[in-house]
Amino acid sequence: MTAFLQSTFNGLVSGAFYALLALGLAVIFGMLRVVNFAHGAFYMLGAFGAYVLLAEAGVPFWAALVVVPLALALLGMALERAFIHRLTRLDPLYNFLLTFGLTLILQDLVKLRYGVQSSPYEAPAGLRGSVDFGLFDFPTYRVFILGFAVAVCVGVWWALARTRVGMVVRAATERPELTRALGINVGRWITPVFGFGIALAGLAGVLAAPMRAVNPLMGADLIIVVFAVVVIGGLGSIFGSVAAGFGIGMVQAWAEAYLSAFPIVAQTIVFIVMAAVLLWRPAGLFGRAEAPA
Amino acid sequence: MLRIENLSAWYGEAQVLRDAGLHVDPGEVVTLVGRNGAGKSTLLRCVMGLHTGWRGTVELSGTELGNLSADRRARLGLGWVPDDRGSYATLTVTENLTLPPTVGPDPWSLERVYEAFPALYQRRNSAATTLSGGEQQMLALARVLRMGARMLLCDEPTEGLAPLLVQQVGDLLREAKRHGVTVLLVEQNLRFATSVADRHYLLAEGRVTAAMENSEVRSRERELLSYLGI
Which residues are registered as beta bridge partners of B24? B2
User: Tell me, what's the pLDDT at B189?
Assistant: 87
B229: pLDDT confidence band, cut at 50, 70 and 90?
confident
Phi, psi of B88 (to 5 degrees): -90, 130
What is the C-alpha separation between B184 and B5, in angstroms, rounded? 15
Distance CA A23, CA A72 (A): 16
Yes or no: say if A51 and A44 are a contact pair by the CB < 8 Å rule: no
Q: What is the mean pLDDT of residues B170-183?
A: 93
pLDDT at A201 (0 to 100): 97
Dihedral of CA B184/B185/B190/B195: which sign?
A: negative
- Of the pLDDT bands very low, low, confident and very high (cuts 50, 70, 90), residue A291 is very low
Collect all residues with Cβ–Cβ distance below 8 Å to A84 and sequence separation of at least 6. Answer: A32, A34, A95, A98, A99, A194
Do the chains contact at A184 and B147, CB–CB below 8 Å? no
pLDDT band at A231 (very low <50, low <70, confident <90, very high): very high
Tell me what pLDDT residue A272 has. Answer: 94
pLDDT at B230 over 80: no
User: Does the beta carbon of A289 lie under 8 angstroms from any beta carbon of chain B?
Assistant: no
Which are the contacts of B19, defined by CB distance < 8 A and separation ≥ 6? B6, B7, B8, B56, B207
Residues in chain A within 8 Å Cβ distance of B69: 180, 185
Answer yes or no: is A183 within a domain.
Answer: yes
Compute the average pLDDT of residues B168-194. 92
Using 50, 70 and 90 to split pLDDT, how confident is the model at A125? confident
- Residue B75 C-alpha, separation from nearest chain A C-alpha, in angstroms: 5
pTM to 2 decimal places: 0.87
> Per-residue pLDDT tens for A45-86?
999 999 999 999 999 999 999 999 999 999 999 999 999 988
Q: How many CA atoms lie less than 13 Å away from B19 in the CB half-sphere? A: 1
- pLDDT for residue A192 is more than 50: yes
Q: Chain A: residue nearest B73 by CA?
A: A183
Q: Which residue of B has its CA nearest to A164?
A: B99
| A32: nearest Cα among A189, A164, A166, A159 | A189
User: What is d(CA A37, CA B16) in angstroms, rounded to the nearest whole number?
Assistant: 39
- Best CA proximity match to B143, nearest among B190, B95, B211, B195: B95
Instruction: Please report whether residue A242 resides in a domain.
Output: no
Structural domains in chain A (count): 1
Is A144 among the domain residues? yes
ipTM for the assembly: 0.92
Question: Quick check: B99 and A179 CB within 8 A?
Answer: yes
Residues of chain B above pLDDT 70, percent = 100
A67 within some domain:
yes
Task: With CB atoms and an 8 Å threshold, state whether B89 touches A181.
Answer: no
User: What are the structural domains of chain B?
Assistant: 2-228 (3.40.50.300)
Q: What angle do CA B49, B53, B58 make, to 5 degrees?
A: 45
pLDDT tens digits, one per residue of A233-249:
988 788 899 999 999 99
Domain ranges, residue A112: 16-129+136-218
Shortest CA gap B48–chain A (Å): 7
d(CA A54, CA B10) in angstroms, rounded, equals 59
- The DSSP 8-state label assigned to residue B127 in this structure reads B
Phi, psi of A267 (to 5 degrees): -75, -25
How far does A168 lie from chain B, in Å, by closest CA?
Answer: 7
A95 domain-assigned: yes
Residue A272 is assigned to a structural domain of this protein: no
Q: Which of B84, B92, B100, B213 is nearest to B149 (CA)?
A: B100
Nearest CB to A171 within list B70, B80, B99: B99
Determine, for residues B50 and A180 on separate chains, whether the beta-carbon distance falls below 8 Å.
yes
Give, in order, the Cα–Cα distances in Å from A113 to each of A38, A215, B152.
19, 11, 60
- The per-residue pLDDT for A216 is 92
Band of residue B125 on the pLDDT scale cut at 50, 70, 90: very high
Cβ contact B99–A182 (<8 Å): yes
**Is the pLDDT assigned to residue A292 strictly greater than 50?**
no
Domain assignment present for A68: yes
Query: Quick check: A293 pLDDT over 60?
Result: no
Q: What percent of chain B has pLDDT over 90?
A: 73
For B50-84, b/e burial (b = at least 16 CB within 10 A) is: bbeebeeebebeeeebeebbbbebbbbbbbbbbee
- A44 lies in a domain? yes
